[in-house]
Amino acid sequence: MSVEQRWLKAAYHGSRWLTPLYPLGFLYRYLMMWRNTRYHTGKKPVFKAGVPVIVVGNITLGGTGKSPLVAWLVNWLRTQGWSPGIITRGYGGKASHYPLEVTALTDPAQSGDEPLMLVQQTSCPVVADPHRARGVKTLVDKGCDIIVSDDGLQHLALGRDIELVVIDGARGLGNGWCLPAGPLRESPSRLAQVDAVIINGEQCCPLPVEGIAMQLAPLSWRRMRDGQRVPITPLPFVPPVNAVAGIGHPERFFNTLRSLGVDGEMRPLADHQRFDDQTFRFSHQRPVVMTAKDAVKCQAFAPPDSWVLEVEALLPPEFEHWLAAKLSALSKKGYTDG
């Protein structure tokens, strides 16, 4: 288990060895509140895109399910007549220039894994740029009339019209402390300021606000060597398998596999970890199963019998109605919808 994984486990399960870090957690929380106030009072500039901006973010470290919600959003927005674009920092990638317009053929070493995955899943314009305002300008110039920001809740230099926060239902807010004493990027009070809190999976921990339930449902299996998609059942391979997951919360993926009757050796990796031939060295030669986020990093060298579990976000109709009403109100404010 890596140092990062050990720390996350401690932060979400209340380990005592984090106690000496509590004063730093207080300091971090104060600095974040001071920083936010400077943006809200106009002391620091905020870029206005001229089109609606929806930010999908979180206040915790570790995976919560933001990217599936982003994919759901852009697909839903297109059904409503919008032309969405996705802006992302491109975490884990290092491009020779920015903004980087991500395509299905972009090297994940340049774009990062999540931007490439989103392009492959949605065929939506995606731009990676640590300077999100610059990337948004590129998307607007390409004809996008609404922007979805994958992450960026704390990137207040980009103006936004709707803020959606995703919380992992199983882990909640962990020990409730800010970095480095806990997993929080901001105070829990921030949840009362956003437009909606989306709870991914069954809610096992109390939250200070009401949330909207989201489920990640298995959609299909994709064979990596040729891209063929097959239904979830019957299984296209014979368990046991070798499973890898380089995501923020690997155990969620492994639990999904177990719910589908897939067992075997489950190998958790660090979030955004780079893959190489060593990643697939297991004690037994078996079918390999991974997430879509991981698959973009190893298309060229994954074992021949490798499979990707594709998932989709499911949200209640009430959320769709609420979001449609919010966008309609924005249009009346001066934005032009699709």
For the segment 225-247, what is each residue's pLDDT rounded down to a tens digit? 999 999 999 999 999 999 999 99
Quote the CA–CA distance of 79 and 83 in Å, as a whole number. 10
Q: How many degrees, rounded to 5, is the angle at CA 199 between CA 51 and CA 242?
A: 105
Query: What are the residues facing 290 on neighbouring strands?
Result: 308
Question: Do residues 198 and 69 lie in contact, with contact meaning Cβ atoms separated by under 8 Å?
Answer: yes
pTM as predicted: 0.94
Q: Which residue has the higher pLDDT, 72 or 273?
A: 72
CB 93 within 8 A of CB 128: yes
SS3 141: helix
249-255-260-261 Cα dihedral, nearest 10 degrees: 130
- In this structure, are residues 85 and 124 in contact, taking their beta carbons and an 8 Å threshold? yes
Asked if pLDDT for residue 13 goes beyond 90, the answer is no
Please state, in angstroms and rounded to a whole number, the distance separating the CA atoms of residues 160 and 162.
Answer: 6
Q: Which two tokens stand for residue 210?
A: 């009401």
Q: What is the pLDDT of residue 14?
A: 80
Mean pLDDT of 149-169: 96
13 is written with which tokens? 């399960």
- 77: its two tokens: 């927005």
Using only C-alpha atoms, what is the Rg of the chain?
20
* Model confidence pLDDT, tens digit, residues 214-223: 999 999 999 9
Specify burial of residue 322 (Cβ count, 10 A radius: 0-12, 13-18, 19+): middle
Say if residues 121 and 220 touch (Cβ distance below 8 Å). no
Q: What's the confidence (pLDDT) of residue 338?
A: 40
pLDDT of the residue at 248: 87
